[in-house]
A and B are shown apart, each in its own frame.
Chain A
Amino acid sequence: MDQLSEIINEELEVKEVFRIPIFGGIPVSESVVVTWIIMAVLILCAFLLTRNMTLHNISKRQALAEWIVTKLSGLVEGMVGERGKAFVPYLCTVMLYVGIANISGIFGFKAPTKDLNVTAALALMSIVLVEAAGIYYLGVRKWLHKFTEPIAVVTPINILEVFTRPLSLCMRLFGNVVGAFVIMELIKTITRNILLPAVFCLYFDLFDGLLQAYVFVFLTSLYIREEIE
């Protein structure tokens, strides 16, 4: 059991990969490096898929690119609404990033979403985007007035929501990823055959990872939609 605890603690520990030698040395964690790798993969794939695009007689590569963009955009547009169309590329990118980050453990990397800094950054960006969208679409007065709706007495709760929303987004993602990881480690330790962990891996690493990416984007879209409509 102690061994298991040690393994889990070690796996959950975010290691420092290197230090940037300014301001007395800024540590760069494993999650940031893995994020760079994910970024590189995503950008490279996007670049390769959209090279030499034509209007007619499209290649399989182009068809795949069009399919990905159309499906993702359609999915996100359905959640964020017609008015929030401008946020679709951001939300699609976040979905791709979180999805790949959650399942990156399968490829031998330490999932960046196991680092609270990553989920907090994602939640922070989401909530900044939500409030910025509110100010942009409604104007400052209406945006402020929205805090007093439906009745003035709920204003403190509405203000509190500005902080609880990103917190819940951040903790939900972090908790789910860490929880799935811990359960998988327990299953791997308890059982000795290979089939059972493989089946659970499909659920906890693949399904749950992708589901969390969807939930994160779904909630962010919902907040944006609530704010601008």
Chain B
Amino acid sequence: MLKLDWNLLFTVINLLILVGAMWYFLFKPVRKILEARQAEADRENALAKAKTAEAEAVKARYEKCLSDTEEERRQIIAKARKQADEEYKKIVNNARSTAKRIEADATEDAARSKARIVADAEQEIADMIAIATEKNVGERRGAGYEDALYEQFLNEVAKDEAVSEPEKAEGETE
């Protein structure tokens, strides 16, 4: 039990053989398979990483495009708002000037109408005064007055003709 002999050497040899055999039959093939699987996993991992990076790039491009579109939309809206603002101001100004012109025309028409009305009224008043006066005078002088006026008119006309006939004869002589 407690003596060392040849069996120590046998055990050493046995152990060396066992280690070699276990390496050859167990550890080597299993490690080979595990390494192959690891390599495959690494390859797939690298591929997945590459695809992830690619997807990230596409996403970044898409986001940039989206932000560009957003910027463009903002610019278009700002431009449209500016244009609409200008158009609004233009329309309001036009409306104001048109209103002013209409107001001025209306004022002028009103003034003209007023003047015409006043003139018409004056004329009417004058006519009424004349009629009233005539009526008044006629009533006062009677029908003989008109005849006298007629007579006076005829006399004046005859006087004028008499004056103008010698002058006409002198002219024919000459």
Q: Are B7 and A28 within 8 A (Cβ)?
A: yes
Main secondary structure on B side of the interface with A: helix
A211 to B132 Cα, complex, angstroms:
155
Contact of A53 among B1, B23, B33, B40 (CB under 8 A): B33
A-B Cβ contacts below 8 A, count: 113
Given contacts A39-B17, A46-B25, contact A12 B11 (CB under 8 A): no
Contact B10 A66 (CB under 8 A): no
User: Is B158 at the interface (CB under 8 A from chain A)?
Assistant: no
Contact A14 B34 (CB under 8 A): no
Whether B27 sits at the interface, judged by CB under 8 Å, is yes
Q: Does B8 contact A (CB under 8 A)?
A: yes
A122 touches B29 (CB 8 A): no
Decide: B30 and A96 in contact? CB cutoff 8 A.
Answer: no
Q: Is the CB of B25 within 8 A of A43?
A: yes
Residue from B5, B8, B25, B37 in contact with A27 in the complex, judged by beta carbons closer than 8 Å: B5
A117 touching B8 by the CB < 8 A rule? yes
13 more A-B residue pairs beyond the given contacts A39-B18, A96-B22, with a C-beta to C-beta distance below 8 A: A28-B7, A43-B25, A46-B22, A47-B25, A53-B30, A66-B34, A89-B22, A89-B23, A94-B19, A97-B18, A120-B4, A120-B8, A124-B8
Kindly list the 9 A-B residue pairs having the minimum CB-CB distance in the complex, ordered from nearest.
Answer: A121-B11, A46-B26, A46-B25, A117-B7, A69-B30, A117-B8, A50-B29, A93-B22, A89-B27
Q: List 23 A-B contacts (CB under 8 A).
A: A12-B1, A14-B1, A14-B7, A27-B7, A29-B7, A35-B10, A35-B11, A43-B18, A43-B22, A50-B30, A62-B33, A94-B15, A96-B22, A115-B1, A116-B3, A116-B4, A117-B5, A117-B10, A121-B9, A121-B12, A121-B15, A122-B15, A125-B12
